[in-house]
Structure 1
Amino acid sequence: MIASVRGVASHVALDRIVVDVHGVGLLVHTPPAVAAGCRHGSEVELATSMIVREDSMTLYGFAAAGERDTFELAQTVTGVGPRVAMALLSVLSPQELSAAVSADDIATLTKVPGIGRKGAERIALELRGKLPEVPGGGAASPASTATGGWQDQVTEALVGLGYSAKQSGEAVEVVGRDTDGAVPTDVSTALKAALQVLAR
């Protein structure tokens, strides 16, 4: 298993990074906020989880080992695969997920795309008592500065998480209004703000 990857980001997309490790390009799927925090050509270090199936080997990367461990633990829940586990960590931090599970907060869990009430109840039941307190902080590269195109980047990231184009566009408009038209400090911050709007 590949538990971590360190190298140069040779390609950065909305939800994936190609990390050049001594001439070998590794495609790593990440939460949008992690990808947004990586710059092309900069060194990155990610905690990773490898999913091996009959027809594929897929690498998932996170800013910290605690996020990776939560991603793997989430998949022990009946009906939760890598895609739903990734959506969980794209919307909720490990701490927020732990708090929601501990409090049996179904409303918070159903804010995640792809998780309905029954799925949220199953997650709360099967993860109760299993999620550790995860310290904050990450090992990703410094966050990339948002440019005038941050709206498109955030909209595409939200659509990739499962929100409709209309929902995504409206959330981005609200973020723009809330900042009085100012450009957010980085795409990751803008994405988190948009997710908070959609959670209202």
Structure 2
Amino acid sequence: MIASLRGTVLEALGTTLVIDVQGVGYAVTVTPDHALSVRVGEEVLVRTAMIVREDDMSLFGFPDRDRLAVFDLLRGVTGVGPKSAMGVLATLAPEQIAQAVANEDDAVFRKVSGIGPKTAKLIVLSLTGKLIAVPSTASVRARPVRGADVLVALVGLGYQERAAQSALDDVLAAQPDEAQTSVLLRAALGRLGPQAVR
């Protein structure tokens, strides 16, 4: 299994990157934005998903773990293959996907080429709850990435999720530059108070 590639970009055309890794050129399918973001001759690190079929072996590449994690989740939805999953990621950022799922907004997915109404609904149903479960190294969640670990901690302490999210939103707005989880957690606990614990 090829999980990542680090090498020099030989070609960047349309939705394909050719990456030279120690003399071997790997063709990797990427989103158009990803292809446009790199330059021929530069070194890149691409997270990859290797899809093996009877008559084909393909590599799909992503600039970060967020997009790879969402790609894997999308492929687990009935009716969504690798190409459709890439289509979703070419149209929507991971945060937008997470928010659409949280809002049960399947209309967002119907705008993606190749995704019909039935599949759009299945995406929302299948991904509900799963984006929150993506490991912290891949920060895609239906909440602001910066506060995701704090929210998990608050719920784990016994606070109701809705109340915890509200307090966290207030803290993030009041401290937009603060990134330390411990600081954000203390501030959120100060806003919640003991009465919020169930």
Q: What stretches of structure 1 of length at least 5 have no aligned partner? A: 137-200
Q: What stretches of structure 2 of length at least 5 have no aligned partner? A: 133-138, 147-198
Q: Which residue of 1 is the match for residue 118 of structure 2?
A: 118
Asked if residue 11 in structure 1 is aligned to residue 11 in structure 2, the reply is yes
The one-letter amino acid of 1:29's match is T
RMSD: 1.2
Q: Which residue of 2 is the match for residue 25 of structure 1?
A: 25
Asked if residue 86 in structure 1 is aligned to residue 86 in structure 2, the reply is yes
Q: Distance in 1 between matches of 2:50 and 2:4?
A: 10
TM-score (norm 2): 0.67
Q: Distance in 1 between matches of 2:35 and 2:106?
A: 28
Moved over 6 A (4+): none
Asked if residue 59 in structure 1 is aligned to residue 62 in structure 2, the reply is no
The one-letter amino acid of 1:55's match is D
Alignment of 1:33-182 (within 5 A): 33-132=33-132, 133-134=139-140, 135=145
Q: Which residue of 2 is the match for residue 162 of structure 1?
A: none
Note the C-alpha offset of 1:102: 1.1
Alignment of 1:174-193 (within 5 A): none
Identity of aligned residues (%): 45
Number of residue pairs matched by the alignment: 136
1:83-136 superposed Cα distances (whole Å, 9 cap, x missing partner): 100001000111110110111112211111111111111111111110135259
Q: Distance in 1 between matches of 2:54 and 2:67?
A: 26
Secondary structure class of the residue paired with 2:17: strand
Q: Distance in 2 between matches of 1:114 and 1:131?
A: 22
Higher relative contact order (CA 8 A, sep 6+): 1
Secondary structure class of the residue paired with 1:59: strand
